[in-house]
A and B are shown apart, each in its own frame.
Chain A
Amino acid sequence: MEALVKFLDGVRLVMFLGLGFLALFHWLRNRGKSEFWIAATFVTLGLVVLAGAFIPDEAEHEWHRWAQKAVVTGVVLFPYFLFRFTETFRAAPRWIEVAGGLATFGVALGPFLLRSIPQGGEPRTMGFQIFLFAFLTQWVFLTLVVITLLWTGGRGQATVTRNRMRTLSLGAIGLAMALVVSAATPGSGDVSVANLVTELLAITSVPLFVLGFAPPGPVLAHWRRSDQDRLRVATAGLVRANDAAEVADSLLPPLVSIVGGTAASLIDHEGTTIGGYRRPDALSALVPQIMSLPMQAGSLVIETSRYSPYFNKDVTGLLKSVASLADIALERIRLTESERQGALELRGLHETMSEFLLAASHDLRTPIAVVKGFSSTMLQRWSDIDDASKVEYLTVINRQSDHLSRLVDDMMTASRLDVGALEVSPEIVDLRALVAETVGDLYPDTPVQIDVAADLTVRADPDHLRRIVRNYVENALNYGEAPFTVDAEVADGFVRVKVTDHGSGVDPLLMSNLFQRFARGSQEGKLRVGTGLGLSIVKGLARANGGDTWYEANDPCGACFGVTVPIA
C-alpha cells in the first residue's frame, strides 16, 4: 500500500507539473485574460506539488517551516485563481466576489499566524484546527461557486463548449474532494486508504482539467461529430436553395448551434442582410460576441456566446469552410437567376419580334396586294382601260409604293435605333420653313394652322425633324378633328414644338405606353395607320437629336403631341 501511494505520489507530481506547463504554454501562446488565470491556477498548483515533494515533512530548518507555510498559501490561492478564471466569462454576484477575496486573503495569511504546520502524526493544535476549518470553508465555497458558474453557464452552449466547461467543473470537484478527504483524516503518520483515495482523486482531476482547457484533437472531433453531421445535412440542403434566404435557413441554424451562438446573418457588400437566423432583438440577455467572416458575397456574421472565443476557438476553420460553401451556393443562385433573367429577356425579345413581324407582315401585305392587283389587271386588260382610268390606277400604284417605302424606312429606322446605329447629321434648321414644307407637301388641301415664329432656328437632323413633324401631323389628321395647329415656343434652351387637334384625344388606356412600339389599340384593331412603330420612332429620333417627346391632353378637347429640339 505504501509503495502504491508513493508511486501515485510520483505520478501526481509529474501530472500536476505537466498541467502547469501546459497552462503556461497556452498563456504564452494566446495571452488572453482567461488563459492568464488558468495558467496562474495550474502553475500555482504545480509549484505547490513540486515544493511539497522537496520540503521535508519534519522541518529541520526555519526556512522549511516558511516554505511549508508558503505551500499552504499556494493551495489556498488555487480555488481563488480558478474562480477568477470563470469570472472572465461571467461575473459572479458582487457579494461572492468580496467574500471570496476576503476569505482567500484571510486564509492565505493563516499559516503565517500559526507557529508551525503540524505534519502527519503530529497533534493538531486548536489554532490549526480553526485554520483548517476556515481553509476548507474557503476552498469548498469557491469551488462550489466555480462549479456552479461553469455548469450553469454550459447550458445552451455548443457541445464542445459545454463539455469543456463541465469537465473543468468535474476536475475542480475531484480536487476539492481530495483535499476534503485529506483534511478530514486525522493524521496518524501511517499510510491509509484515505491517502490512496486522495491520490486517486487528485490524479483523476488532471485529465479532467486537461480536457477542460486544452482538449486534444481527437476528443474535440468526437464532441463535434453530431454538429458536423448536422452541417453535412445542411450542406446537402444548399444544393436545393433557391435564394439567399434559403441558403441562410439551411446553413445558419446548425452553424449557430456549432458555435453556441445566438444569431447569425449573411450580409452583402452594401450591409444589407440577405438572410438570417434569429433576429438581433430575439437575443438572450447574454451580451454576444460578434464574429465576422469575410465572404465573396459579403460577410457571415455570427453572434456567439461569451464562452465561445475561449472554449470554441478552433471552430474558426470550420466556419471558414461554411462561409465558402455559402459563397458557392450564393454564386450558383446568382448565376441561375441571371440565366433565368436572360431567358426571360430573350423570350420578351422574341415576343416583341413576333408581334413586330405579325404587324409588319399585315401592313406590308395591303399595299403589295393593291400594287399587284392594279398592275396585273392593267397588264391583262390594257386595251380595255381608258386613259383616265390608267392614270387613276397608276396614281394608286405610285401612292401605295410610297407607302411601302415608308413602312420599310420605319422598320429600318426602328432596327437602327435598337442597335444604336442611327446616324444623326445635325444642322441649323429654319423651323417654320421645315414645318410649312412638310405639312404642305403632305396635305396641300388640309388646313393646318402653323404658328411658328419666322426667325426660329433649331439644331437637328432635318430629315429626322421632318419625320417627327410628319408623323404627328398625320396622326392628328387620321385620328383627330380640326382645327389642327403646329406651334412652337422657346423654353430652357429648347424649342417645344406642339401638334394639336380637337378630336377625342388619346384613349387613357393607351396613354402609359403611347411612345412604345405597337401601342396601337389592338392588333386587328381600329387604329390601322402605320406599323405601330411611328411614335416609338419619333421618340427615338427626338432623343437621338438631344430632345424628347411628350403627350398631353389638349384643352378643352383633343390631343397635343410635343417634341423638344435644342435651340440653334
Chain B
Amino acid sequence: MESQLVTKRVLGIVEDERDMQLLLRLTLGADPRLDLGGEATSAEEALELAQSWEPDLIVLDQSLDGELTGLEAAPLLKALVPETKILLFTAYDLRARAEAEPAVDDFLRKDNFAALLPTVNRMLGLEPLT
C-alpha cells in the first residue's frame, strides 16, 4: 500500500555493450522503487532522449558508440536536465577525472559491480533494499 504512494525513481542507462545493458537491467530492475525509463547506446542518443525520459539518475558509461565519451557528455546532459544525478560507471580508472567534472555526481568502476545498486540508492536518497 505504502509503496504505491511513493513515486518510482526513473533511471536512464547509457551503455553500448549488449551484455552489460542486460546486466544493468537485471540488477537495477530488481529494486521495485526504480523504473528503467530509457536506454541509449551513445551519448548523442541520450542527449536526444534525456528530456523525454526526465530521469532522476543516469548511469553513464565512458566509452560509447558515437563520437562523445561519457565524461564529454556529462556536462551536456546536466545542461539539459539539471536535476538529474549522473553516475559515471566504467571499466576505466577515471575517479580523479570524474571528481574534477562537476556534472558527474559519483563514480563507480565496473568491476565493483556489487556496489552498483547501493550506490544508486544512496545517490537517490533511498534506503538500502533489504
Contacts and interface: CB of A to CB of B under 8 A. Distances in A.
Interface of A: 358, 361-363, 365-366, 368-370, 372-374, 376-377, 381, 392-393, 396, 399-400, 523-526, 528
B1 to A, nearest CB: 23
Contacts of B19: 370, 396, 399-400
Given A377-B26, A524-B62, A526-B63, A366 B113 contact: no
Contact of B110 (A366, A396, A400): A366
Interface string B104-124: 000001110110000000000
A399 B20 CA distance: 12
Contact of B22 (A361, A396, A526): A396
Contact of B20 (A369, A392, A524): A369
A392 B21 CA distance: 13
A175 to B, nearest CB: 94
Contacts of B92: 362, 523-524
A370 to B, nearest CB: 5
A400 B111 CA distance: 14
B111 A368 contact: yes
A372 B113 contact: yes
Nearest to B111: A365
Interface string B38-65: 0000000000000000000000001101
B113 A373 contact: yes
Contact of B63 (A369, A374, A393, A525): A525
A365 B91 CA distance: 6
A interface, over-half SS: helix
B99 interface: no
A526 B69 CA distance: 8
Contacts of B30: 377, 381
B23 interface: yes
Nearest to B66: A526
Contacts of A393: 22, 26
Contacts of B27: 373, 377
Contacts of A372: 111, 113-114
B67 A366 contact: no
A525 B63 CA distance: 6
Interface string B80-112: 000000000011111000000000000001110
A392 B94 CA distance: 31
